[in-house]
Amino acid sequence: MYMAKPVIVVHGGAWGIPDEQVDENIKGVEKAVREGWKILKTGGSALDAVVAAVNSMEDNPIFDAGIGSVLTTDGTVEMDALIMDGNTLNAGAVAGLRDVRYPIKLARHVMEDTPHVLMIGDGANRLADEFKVERITQDELVTEDARKGLKEWLKDQKFGETFGHETVGAVALDADGNIATATSTGGVTGKRVGRVGDVPIIGSGGYADNRVGAVSTTGHGESILKVNLSKLVLNYMETGMSVQIATEKALGYMAVRVNGNGGLIAIDKDGNIGHGFTTKRMVWASIKDDDLESGINA
């Protein structure tokens, strides 16, 4: 019986991470990747591993997902998430959540317990009640850093790498050779109410296919949407490119074609790892063969 060597990679967002937040960001992704690895090393599934890793970051206020989500122009939270099973190509996504503690858990319910792929707004919130996914108040979701970020944004009225903390995500390969991806975000500071970025869109915020690999993206959502960044990486890999070369080529294409910045993590079907970014920084961590690696700079 074929046994793959498990691997997991996580990211905590690609943006202009301030120097004073570097250590906390690295500690956060290292904790998240360990949570996922606990599951993989005991024979657990890639799906369970990416959910555990993303849950860890949704609970960590240093990241823009779950607790720590940034604010719209109205001062409200709107969260999105996506999960995909590379074995079946089943996927689940949610958008515009206002009070769900773990958006990635709700996305998984959409994938496994409904015939749908993407649920938004009130309908998604009703599902949270139906499947007993924990709710949380906006006051509990919002940090002082998020309030400060909106105040600064309202003063300048322009987007930039200092606003928002971008997205979190994870990709994993389990011992059975199955691959999964999960991505979760609290959006970007100062976005219009109702704006949806790349995260819940299959092929943009993430994609997983056992025959090729898996990707989770982060960065300027509108740019990622325009080039279908996650699927673009896998398309390059299908031509024979290594996962790292495909990562760099896809990010380069997005920069040239739509002048967009971002980052991504990826694995191929054999567990080889790729990661890259065109922003100032991207925080990431990986575990393979029980060896943990992490980084934040190029």
Confirm whether 167 is a catalytic residue: yes
**72 and 194 Cβ atoms separated by less than 8 Å:** no
Measure the CA–CA gap between 136 and 199, rounded to whole angstroms: 21
One of 72, 143, 167, 185 is an active-site residue; which one? 167
The Cα 257–Cα 268 span in angstroms is 25
C-alpha to C-alpha distance for 210 and 163, rounded to whole angstroms:
35
Widest CA span in the chain: 61
Q: CA-to-CA distance for 69 and 142, rounded, in angstroms?
A: 6
- Give Cα separations from 90 to 33, 107, 171, 257 (angstroms): 23, 11, 15, 30
CA distance readout (Å), 291 to 67, 85, 156: 29, 25, 44
Instruction: State the burial class of residue 255 (Cβ atoms within 10 Å of its Cβ: 0-12, 13-18, 19+).
Output: middle
Supply the residues annotated as catalytic: 167
